[in-house]
Chain A
Amino acid sequence: MKRNRLTRGALLTAAALTIFLVEMMIPPIVPIPGVKLGLANIITLVAMMLIGPVDTLLILLARILLGGMFSGQIMSILYSFSGGILCYLTMLLLRKHIALSQIWAMSIVGAIAHNIGQIAMAILVTRTWELILYLPVLMVSGILTGLFTGLAAQAAAVKLKGKL
Chain B
Amino acid sequence: MNKTIRTRTWILLFAVLLMASLAMTAWIMRRKAPGTTACIYSDGVLIRTVDLNSVTESFEFSVISERGENRIRVEPGRICVVDADCRDQICVKKGWLSESATPIVCLPHRLVIRLEAGSADVDAVSR
Interface 9-mer from B53-61, B71-79, B102-110, B117-125: B102-110
Is B103 in contact with A28, judged by CB distance below 8 angstroms?
Answer: no
Q: Is A148 an interface residue (CB 8 A)?
A: no
Q: Give CA–CA (A71, B108) in the complex, Å.
A: 13
Is A28 in contact with B7, judged by CB distance below 8 angstroms?
Answer: no
Interface membership of chain B positions 29-69, coded 1 if the CB is closer than 8 angstroms to chain A and 0 otherwise: 00100000000010110000000000000000000000100
Interface residue from A28, A73, A133, A143 paired with B17 (Cβ < 8 Å): A143
Q: Give CA–CA (A27, B18) in the complex, Å.
A: 25
A-side binding surface: helix, strand, loop or mixed? helix
Q: Count A-B pairs with CB separation below 8 Å.
A: 101
Interface residue from A73, A101, A140 paired with B87 (Cβ < 8 Å): A73
Interface membership of chain B positions 77-118, coded 1 if the CB is closer than 8 angstroms to chain A and 0 otherwise: 000000000011111011100000111010110101010000
What residues of chain B lie closer than 8 Å to A137, measured between beta carbons?
21, 25, 28
The residue in chain B whose Cβ has the minimal distance to the Cβ of A71 is B87
Is B44 in contact with A75, judged by CB distance below 8 angstroms?
Answer: no
What size tier do the contact residues of chain B reach?
35 or more
Is B107 in contact with A75, judged by CB distance below 8 angstroms?
Answer: yes
Is B28 in contact with A133, judged by CB distance below 8 angstroms?
Answer: yes
What residues of chain A lie closer than 8 Å to B25, measured between beta carbons?
136-137, 140
What residues of chain B lie closer than 8 Å to A33, measured between beta carbons?
88, 90, 105, 107
Known contacts A27-B89, A75-B107, A96-B2; is-contact A128 B101 (Cβ 8 Å): no
Is A102 in contact with B5, judged by CB distance below 8 angstroms?
Answer: yes
The residue in chain A whose Cβ has the minimal distance to the Cβ of B13 is A105
What residues of chain B lie closer than 8 Å to A98, measured between beta carbons?
4-5
Offer 21 A-B interface pairs, CB within 8 angstroms, sorted by A: A24-B87, A27-B89, A31-B90, A31-B95, A32-B90, A33-B88, A96-B2, A98-B5, A102-B4, A102-B5, A102-B10, A108-B14, A126-B44, A126-B105, A128-B112, A128-B114, A130-B114, A133-B28, A134-B102, A139-B18, A140-B21
Chain B interface residues (CB < 8 Å from chain A)? 1-5, 7, 10, 14, 17-18, 20-22, 24-25, 28, 31, 41, 43-44, 67, 87-91, 93-95, 101-103, 105, 107-108, 110, 112, 114
